């Protein structure tokens, strides 16, 4: 029997009905059944999930305990396809997407990872916090490249494993992209999603990723921001204890991995590819040249330091940060007050910069801010390729849009 072209790999735990629906949906992926195989890793389910999988997949790997979403690593070891596609147990690629994915790989032999645009049931989308990083519920790999860099690290269990893998691929000389013509539907069912557990793994694993890959000149700032921001998020959900445990674990792992991964730091080129600090600084410089002296940052994302740094280097004062999730009495980010968005927009400022590099969150934040102020709003990250809301085609993971039409700003001073 010839090897399949594509290997679909998913992990699951006690999601019997969800898995059954996903397996049925995969039959409509657009490939003939002989062209793909389905590999499922069952994380010690006890609800009948294993029986459903036995009748619907080509290979079933039954684990004796729950190893989380990163158990997909065990599926990759069994994959025979030229391309490997990671799915969640409640996600499925839209018809035609896998054919287009294959074409992407055939057109560019340096492409190792093709992330999908993720669609949610409410009509919204889902994306990672950094441009170019895929979401694990829908992504394709060149199997040889995936194995070359060591594959998915199962020790992460869940959260931040996408960043770890993207950074390793980039440092291995491979291209990592997210495409707007590759689509996956993510039903994102609430069952088995435990926010307190998520708070634990968020801080633990993000600290590990930074310890492994952050260049020495940026490590201290990124680490401090990571601890502070995830601490605030955990506090807002009442998960302080989970955060504290995750932070301790992340620091322990980090001390070890900072040494063992010392040869794996992101190069300047790779760091700019994912964090875009140089590009943000350039955009801030352009604002300063257009007369902007005082701004509000809106939506304090994971990459906030790049925006703070860019403004400081451009000589622009950050009057306030508007973020309804993170605002609290007396709370400051690097000396700047974090206020509810409406309150932040009541002060004196020349324009608003959306300080989030997630293409989905940056877009939604910009839309909201524009409804609340007549001042210029600058959003430098958005949809991958295609046209933004102003009809400007940038064709890059980093796009820019503002509501000034590129005209000189009329800045009135008292």
The vertex-206 CA angle with 201 and 211, nearest 5°, equals 130
Mean pLDDT for 294-312 is 98
Q: What pLDDT is stored for residue 224 in this prediction?
A: 98
Classify domain 6-186 at the CATH topology level: Spore Coat Polysaccharide Biosynthesis Protein SpsA; Chain A (3.90.550)
C-alpha 103/C-alpha 100 separation (Å) is: 5
% of residues, the chain, pLDDT over 70: 90
C-alpha 414/C-alpha 87 separation (Å) is: 56
Which CA distances in Å does 274 have to 170, 297, 308, 395?
A: 10, 20, 17, 16
126-140, 180-194, 304-318: least confidently modelled range: 180-194
pLDDT at 323 over 60: yes
pLDDT tens profile 338-378: 999 999 999 999 999 999 999 999 999 999 999 999 999 99
Q: Are 227 and 247 in contact (CB under 8 A)?
A: yes
* Per-chain mean pLDDT for the chain: 92
| Number of C-beta neighbours around residue 338 at 10 A | 22
Beta bridge partners of 393: 387
Q: What pLDDT is stored for residue 404 in this prediction?
A: 55
At 115 the three-state DSSP class reads strand
% of residues, the chain, pLDDT over 90: 89
Mean pLDDT for 109-113 is 98
Mean pLDDT for 208-215 is 98
pLDDT at 309 over 60: yes
Q: What pLDDT is stored for residue 2 in this prediction?
A: 86
Helix (H) and strand (E) counts for the chain? 14, 16
Domain ranges within the chain, ordered by starting residue: 6-186, 195-270, 276-402
pLDDT tens profile 26-42: 999 999 999 999 999 99
Q: What pLDDT is stored for residue 396 in this prediction?
A: 36
Q: Tokens 């898995």 appear where?
A: 19
pLDDT tens profile 263-287: 999 999 999 999 999 999 999 999 9
pLDDT at 411 over 70: no
CATH architecture for segment(s) 276-402: 3-Layer(aba) Sandwich (3.40)
Strand 294-298 versus strand 317-322 pairing type? parallel
């Amino acid at each position: 029997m010839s090897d399949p072209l594509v290997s679909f790999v998913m992990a699951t735990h006690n999601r019997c009905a969800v898995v059954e629906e996903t397996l049925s949906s995969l039959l409509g992926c657009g490939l003939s059944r002989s062209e793909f195989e389905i590999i499922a890793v069952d994380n010690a389910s006890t609800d009948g999930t294993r029986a459903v999988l036995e009748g619907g997949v080509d290979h079933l790997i039954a684990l004796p305990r729950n190893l989380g979403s990163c158990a997909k690593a065990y599926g990759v070891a069994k994959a025979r396809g030229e391309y490997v596609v990671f799915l969640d147990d409640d996600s499925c690629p839209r018809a035609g997407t896998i054919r287009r994915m294959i074409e992407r790989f055939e057109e560019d032999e340096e492409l190792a990872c093709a992330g999908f645009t993720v669609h949610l049931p409410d009509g919204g989308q889902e994306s990672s916090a950094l441009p170019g990083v895929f979401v694990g519920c829908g992504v394709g790999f060149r199997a040889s490249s995936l194995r070359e860099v060591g594959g998915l690290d199962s020790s992460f269990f869940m959260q931040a494993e996408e960043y770890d893998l993207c950074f390793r691929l980039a440092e291995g000389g491979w291209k990592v992209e997210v495409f707007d013509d590759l689509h996956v539907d993510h039903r994102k069912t609430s069952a088995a999603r435990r926010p307190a557990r998520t708070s634990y793994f968020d801080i633990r694993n993000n600290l590990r990723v930074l310890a492994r890959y952050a260049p020495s000149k940026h490590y201290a700032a990124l680490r401090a921001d990571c601890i502070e921001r995830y601490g605030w998020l955990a506090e807002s959900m009442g998960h302080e204890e989970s955060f504290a445990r995750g932070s301790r674990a992340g620091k322990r792992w980090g001390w070890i991995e900072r040494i063992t991964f010392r040869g794996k730091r992101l190069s300047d080129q790779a760091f700019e590819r994912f964090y875009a600090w140089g590009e943000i600084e350039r955009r801030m410089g352009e604002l300063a040249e257009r007369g902007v002296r005082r701004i509000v940052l809106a939506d304090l994302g994971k990459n906030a330091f790049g925006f703070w740094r860019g403004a400081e280097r451009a000589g622009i004062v950050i009057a306030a940060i508007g973020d309804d999730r993170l605002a609290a009495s007396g709370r400051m980010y690097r000396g700047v007050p974090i206020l509810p968005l409406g309150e932040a927009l009541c002060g004196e400022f020349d324009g608003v910069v959306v300080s989030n590099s997630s293409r989905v969150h940056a877009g939604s934040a910009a839309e909201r801010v524009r409804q609340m102020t007549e001042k210029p709003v600058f959003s430098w990250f958005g949809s991958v390729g295609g046209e933004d809301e102003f009809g400007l085609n940038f064709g890059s993971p980093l796009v820019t849009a503002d509501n000034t039409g590129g005209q000189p700003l009329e800045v009135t001073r008292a």
